[in-house]
Structure 1
């Protein structure tokens, strides 16, 4: 391990990749990128990012842990594979508290040097979709496919428009159901929006029959959970020792349920005051 640490690993990796590309005639027209966290148990006090034996190191530190263990330290591992056979073509490690969206420009530049061209399709998740990342790749002659985050204006505008319009979807793919042999086919439809993004990039929307089914089941589950929670709230209000004494308190509690279950679009809670005389 000590010898590997001291070795020129970048050159070694490049030679392996070039040999694999030539040996198996890999198509480098599309390269897929993703990242994950490598979780560590222990203090790792010496893994502080300071140079060791004249070589750079990385900080094993807490960050956004993708294993859902925020209590543990980590490193960020970034991997790019070919669409042709999912062959690893480039990888690197970064400090554990590195944000994913800051890794793409460096990764793309490394891939450009490795392939000898900028004319490849770079595919990554929504962490690629920042103005800085997309503008850099576009202005340097590159191409990309990514996912628009829900926080972008284009996302909200399109979903609002869909509630009152029927998008002219075009079927782009139909394939057999891999989960159930007798199940309906998986269908994908696409629609290119006539307006580009605020940065001037093409925007294409896709509809998936599988995702529609999953979304519907998730929505029904949330509505059912909210209904049970509202019924429990109603029972609490009527209890003799209830702390919910005012109309405002009950309304706030009901609204909190709708927000937590994410069903405000589907359920409206109305609280009314009924006066009852008791003798």
Structure 2
């Protein structure tokens, strides 16, 4: 951000004398027309520039969302704090997250080294962002209640940008941490060992559940849980939080298969809510799914992208707490899924055959001399490749009879040694393939069941399919949080402060999504994308926020010392692409003017 953008224009002279300005401009004009430099020798004694980057865009969106004002209106400030309010501290930390400054103690140095925070909060001196002050804000927000503050901020964003929330998705993830964490206090989540989705059982973790709207995957609500919390125990609480946030129960709640338990489904249904999720392949659900596949007679064609899917439905019922529930099981067929699953099924069968072929020459030696050890090895193969449904095996024993001398040592001359019979087990394994079961499994490939309590009049099969297919949105946001924005490792060691920091992290994700959503909405409205934006690409209609903001990387502000001792300030002249990006982001050009950015009066 410190690099200079070559083309710049002076737009805010502080106290220039008319004589010098007139002489300078007249000399430039005559020089261009005559080719001769008739100006007096003028030497600029110093030109100092500093990076501005995309900080004005962030300032615009902070102002639109009223983040600072909402926090300051709700979280009481210690009267001894005279300079930095809690809202300003949160804005600074959110900005640090977007610039990958994730340690609190580094934010003060970030404020000294760049002009980003001086653009967003021009009246705050860099030394005010020290880590103890920022930690005080985290503590104050935790004491006030994260949810109590999260709701008005998100509601303001929903109102300002007209976010559609009739379909909401939820997906929990685990975030690994490194080092020791202070779990001695009773406040906050417990950082502990649990089921790691990264398969890092050696690392402690916490569970982070994120709910998003189907409209552009806008983050609605987040909550942190103990590291050993099972996902199945988070869905009802997240649904309840969404009801409080949106002040409605009639939205469709979409989640993964761990939502489908009798307790979860009954709770949401009894409280006038709606849900849809894939059925887990436990025995009871599998039995109902297979029965529906065997007994259905007609399927409905569903156009999807460049292919045609199919679907039908069957009733699904269960009992819970002496009450009967009648729901819908919607069974969909996806061609792409069918192709992938059939290939996987053939691969599993072939690998099972190869494993048994490799086992044969190893029989009757070392650790495979007994029936029990061979039976265990065969079961391990079927378990590894999940093919016990298609293969059976028989272990046969054909003992080998040999003879040896009854007595040790060499027999006497002319004496025939007495022989004894020695029987040695000789096992073999025969693998049997159940072709009927395999063909039935091939037929079921591509079908998957969804369970919902919403009526057919309110949720068609096509709408159910699209709601489930959009479940990738919270998963995509979670991956983006971990990779692009470095959610892990977490550099804060106090659990309650981690919870507040995750709340600020969600606000940073909200701003990113709002930037992208605004750009795509305006590109769609004008039916023309961005040119000269990506290498070798024209008409880009789905620009990522990171790439749009990077286009402002070399925007600088500067000061020039004029010969008469006065100074002149300027901001880099924006390129046509930068102006076009500002237009689709609905950011006025004056946000990049010198007067607006650096006039602290």
- Number of positions where the alignment pairs a residue of Structure 1 with one of Structure 2: 261
Q: CA deviation at 1:27?
A: 1.2
Q: Secondary structure at the match of 2:249?
A: coil
Q: List runs of 5+ in structure 2 lacking aligned partners.
A: 1-133, 320-324, 404-601
1:169 aligns with 2:299: yes
- 2:336, 2:401 → 1: CA distance? 55
- 1:96, 1:217 → 2: CA distance? 36
- 1:160, 1:232 → 2: CA distance? 38
* 1:218 counterpart (338, 341, 344): 344
Match of 1:5 in 2: 139
* 1:191 counterpart (291, 298, 312): 312
1:32 aligns with 2:169: yes
Where do 1:56-135 residues align within 5 Å?
57-135=188-266
Where do 1:226-237 residues align within 5 Å?
226-237=352-363
Q: CA deviation at 1:13?
A: 2.0
Match of 1:181 in 2: none
Q: Secondary structure at the match of 1:69?
A: coil
User: Which of structures 1 and 2 has the bigger CA Rg?
Assistant: 2
1:263 aligns with 2:399: no
Native 8 Å contact 1:82 1:89 kept in 2: yes
Q: CA deviation at 1:160?
A: 5.9
1:142 aligns with 2:273: yes
Native 8 Å contact 1:48 1:59 kept in 2: no
Native 8 Å contact 1:126 1:146 kept in 2: yes
Closer/same/farther in 2, CA of residues 100 and 271 from structure 1, 3 Å limit? same
Deviations 1:170-228 (A, max 9, x none): 2223213xxxxxxxx3x432120145455422111112111111111211222222112
Of 243-252 and 35-44, deviating more is 243-252
Q: List runs of 5+ in structure 1 lacking aligned partners.
A: 52-56, 177-184
Q: CA deviation at 1:12?
A: 3.1
- 1:161, 1:271 → 2: CA distance? 37
Q: CA deviation at 1:254?
A: 2.4
- 2:344, 2:285 → 1: CA distance? 24
Native 8 Å contact 2:212 2:221 kept in 1: yes
Q: Secondary structure at the match of 1:146?
A: strand
Q: Secondary structure at the match of 2:395?
A: coil
Native 8 Å contact 1:154 1:197 kept in 2: no
Q: CA deviation at 1:116?
A: 1.1
Native 8 Å contact 1:81 1:89 kept in 2: yes
The root-mean-square deviation of aligned C-alpha atoms, in Å, is 2.3
Q: CA deviation at 1:266?
A: 2.2
Match of 1:179 in 2: none
Which consecutive aligned stretches of 4+ in structure 1 deviate over 4 angstroms post-superposition?
A: 164-167, 246-249, 274-279
State the TM-score, normalizing by the size of structure 2: 0.41
Match of 1:254 in 2: 378
- 2:375, 2:198 → 1: CA distance? 37
Deviations 1:114-150 (A, max 9, x none): 1111111001111211111111110111000012111
Native 8 Å contact 1:167 1:191 kept in 2: no
Greater helix share, structure number: 2
- 2:154, 2:298 → 1: CA distance? 43
Match of 2:444 in 1: none
Native 8 Å contact 1:39 1:72 kept in 2: yes
Q: Secondary structure at the match of 2:282?
A: coil
Q: CA deviation at 1:231?
A: 0.8
- 1:126, 1:49 → 2: CA distance? 34
State the TM-score, normalizing by the size of structure 1: 0.84
- 1:74, 1:251 → 2: CA distance? 39
Match of 1:47 in 2: 183
Closer/same/farther in 2, CA of residues 85 and 226 from structure 1, 3 Å limit? same
Q: Secondary structure at the match of 2:362?
A: helix
Closer/same/farther in 2, CA of residues 70 and 48 from structure 1, 3 Å limit? farther
Q: CA deviation at 1:86?
A: 0.6
- 1:161, 1:246 → 2: CA distance? 44
- 1:167, 1:4 → 2: CA distance? 60
Deviations 1:88-115 (A, max 9, x none): 0111111111111111222111111111
Of 71-80 and 14-23, deviating more is 14-23
- 1:161, 1:133 → 2: CA distance? 23
Native 8 Å contact 2:206 2:224 kept in 1: yes
